[in-house]
């Protein structure tokens, strides 16, 4: 095992980046005292700062980033660690992306495109990972599947007519039906509202483009129109109100059209009680765990534009976009190979795909697995729990997104997880659940959408307006705990790169214990009437911090 003996000097003492221990002096940090006395950043971030805020430092920048730039400048510098494979269990990855193509894992025991299973792992031509979804892009939600399965048995029946043996299934059925009716009703209302708004705004916009002679006019341009008709006055008033948001009307129209497409797609796919997308596009039985080899090696998904791989590509960029190549962005980690495992569609994932995806990643050398997905119904949760335990037995850390409903997960069960609301004893010590932070330090530092929970959330990391890779050599801002999880997975990868002797539980402990906390009161779920101390909303009470994590890793490795 390689040992790096060069010492690193910075603002603090030397830190040896070691593989098997060292006798050099450890780095000594000055503990952050009175963090709550720091002045809040009043000035808004610039466009350039928004793109890098997760890497900023709370003390130096008054932005609750992970001190990534500080860690590279003062601790890591030009030192090289060991390569770490991070599996991205997600919707797929654009492995040809300009900022990812050099950090994609390659199965060296597999000969590309020869139609053979060269490494005898059961997967033919899995050169860069595996696609457990085949040609699936859209799927139903899990509670819709429950309704389809249980409708013949329970439809139209009262609770009094249900036998004792069937009451558990009936309770799930009634809960699923209630949720379905609520969600479908809201979606139909939103679809109708957006569909009514769009033609009226589009017509008014076309009129004002002609009147002003500008494709993107301003409020001043509208007010300068001479002798507007009564109808035009109404249109000017409506469009002026829309322009107050700061976006041109043409952009707002795109957003409304996007909303129409989104809600219509939900009706056609997520809530569809008729179609079986798995049977149509894959052919595998999701309730039969005896069949374990299915799908294909197309880890970017079936479309030419790789549209369904947007989420997984964004997650991958956060973790490992090639650093300092002058292209796009820098990922958190600098010694990472991304292993794409496609198992998450636009809809709810199947437990079987997740369980087998975790096992595939473990068996092929991943030391960190990122799982940025979740659901609230799980018919085969035991398969996933067994896979988590399997990963633990192989010293693999799983970093998991907490979810985006703004709820307390100590009261609501989410899957995957390593515990239940009834029993908070963890099934394994290798599972780290991450909530999301905003870039605004203070009472609104917790993302309004982020789930929370003293027992079920471990740490929080940046998750609002995160800039990263998207398919076809593009980049976008996305947000969610789906982004906070890979920020943390990147930190885990850095630790495992420079301190490979540390175990998955040790890395988890370091990330939790080394973070930055606050005694401040924070708003939860975006509801200003729902507040608590920051330290009470997660198990650690901390924000992930790479700089502090490396300091603690050095101490623990000795």
Contact assessment for residue 354 and residue 416, using Cβ atoms and an 8 Å cutoff = yes
CATH superfamily, region 68-138+286-556 = Peptidase S8/S53 domain (3.40.50.200)
pLDDT tens digits, 253-289:
999 999 999 999 999 999 999 999 999 999 999 999 9
Quick check: helix, strand or coil at residue 532? Answer: strand
Please state, in angstroms and as integers, the Cα–Cα distance from residue 402 to each residue in 172, 236, 367, following that order.
23, 44, 20
Nearest to 273 by CA among 403, 390, 180: 180
pLDDT exceeds 80 at position 527: yes
| Segment 139-186, tens digit of pLDDT | 999 999 999 999 999 999 999 999 999 999 999 999 999 999 999 999
Question: Percentage of the chain surpassing pLDDT 70?
Answer: 92
How many angstroms separate the first and last alpha carbons of the chain?
A: 16
Q: What is the pLDDT of residue 8?
A: 23
Residues in the chain: 558
Q: How confident is the model at residue 249 (pLDDT cuts 50, 70, 90)?
A: very high
pLDDT for residue 15: 30
CA distances, 532 to each of 39, 60, 436, 462, 515 (Å): 21, 26, 16, 19, 19
User: pTM for the whole thing?
Assistant: 0.91
Cα 167 from Cα 150, distance rounded (Å): 12
**What integer pLDDT is reported at residue 158 of this predicted model?**
92
Helix or strand (DSSP H, E) at 388: helix 381-393
Domain ranges of the chain: 68-138+286-556, 143-270
Tokens for 502? 């540390």
Give 319's contacts (C-beta < 8 A, 6+ positions apart).
86, 88, 331, 332, 333, 336, 338, 370, 486, 489, 490, 493
């Amino acid at each position: 095992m390689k040992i790096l003996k060069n010492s690193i000097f910075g603002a603090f003492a030397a830190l040896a980046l070691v593989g098997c221990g060292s006798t050099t002096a450890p780095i000594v940090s000055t503990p952050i005292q009175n963090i709550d006395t720091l002045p809040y950043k009043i000035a808004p971030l610039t466009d350039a700062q928004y793109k890098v805020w997760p890497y900023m430092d709370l003390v130096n920048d008054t932005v609750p980033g992970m001190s990534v730039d500080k860690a590279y400048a003062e601790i890591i510098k030009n030192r090289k660690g060991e390569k770490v494979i991070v599996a991205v269990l997600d919707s797929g990855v654009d492995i040809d992306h300009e900022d990812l193509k050099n950090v994609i894992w390659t199965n060296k025991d597999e000969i590309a495109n020869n139609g053979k299973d060269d490494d005898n792992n059961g997967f033919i031509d899995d050169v860069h990972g595996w696609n457990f979804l085949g040609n699936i892009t859209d799927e139903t939600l899990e509670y819709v599947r429950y309704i389809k399965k249980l409708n013949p048995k329970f439809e139209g029946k009262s609770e009094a007519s249900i036998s004792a043996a069937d009451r558990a299934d009936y309770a799930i059925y009634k809960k699923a039906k209630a949720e379905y009716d609520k969600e479908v009703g809201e979606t139909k209302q939103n679809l109708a509202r957006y569909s009514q708004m769009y033609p009226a705004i589009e017509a008014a916009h076309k009129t004002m483009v002609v009147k002003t002679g500008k494709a993107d006019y301003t409020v001043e341009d509208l007010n300068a129109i001479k002798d507007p008709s009564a109808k035009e006055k109404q249109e000017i008033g409506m469009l002026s109100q829309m322009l107050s948001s700061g976006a041109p009307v043409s952009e707002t129209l795109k957003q409304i059209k996007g909303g129409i497409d989104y809600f219509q797609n939900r009706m056609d796919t997520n809530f569809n009680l008729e179609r079986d997308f798995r049977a149509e596009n894959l052919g595998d039985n999701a309730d039969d765990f005896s069949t374990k080899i299915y799908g294909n090696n197309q880890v970017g998904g079936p479309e030419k534009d790789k549209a369904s791989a947007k989420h997984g590509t964004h997650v991958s960029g956060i973790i490992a976009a090639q650093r300092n190549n002058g292209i796009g962005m820098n990922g958190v980690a600098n010694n990472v190979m991304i292993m794409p495992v496609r198992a998450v569609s636009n809809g709810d994932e199947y437990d079987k795909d997740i369980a087998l995806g975790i096992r595939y990643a473990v068996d092929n050398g991943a030391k960190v697995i990122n799982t940025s997905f979740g659901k609230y119904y799980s018919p085969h949760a035991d398969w996933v729990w067994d896979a988590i335990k399997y990963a633990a037995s192989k010293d693999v850390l799983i970093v998991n997104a907490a979810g985006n409903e703004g709820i307390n997960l100590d009261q609501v069960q989410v899957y995957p997880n390593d515990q239940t609301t009834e029993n908070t004893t963890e099934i394994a010590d290798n599972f780290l659940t991450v909530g999301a932070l905003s870039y605004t330090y203070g009472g609104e530092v917790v993302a309004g959408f982020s789930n929370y929970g003293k027992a079920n959330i471990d740490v929080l990391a940046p998750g609002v307006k995160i800039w990263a890779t998207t398919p076809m050599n593009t980049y976008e801002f996305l947000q969610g705990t789906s982004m906070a999880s890979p920020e943390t997975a990147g930190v885990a990868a850095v630790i495992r790169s420079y301190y490979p002797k540390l175990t998955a539980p040790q890395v988890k402990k370091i990330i939790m214990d080394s973070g930055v906390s606050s005694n401040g009161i924070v708003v939860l779920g975006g509801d200003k009437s729902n507040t608590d101390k920051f330290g009470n909303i997660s198990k650690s009470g901390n924000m992930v911090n790479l700089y502090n994590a490396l300091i603690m890793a050095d101490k623990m490795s000795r």
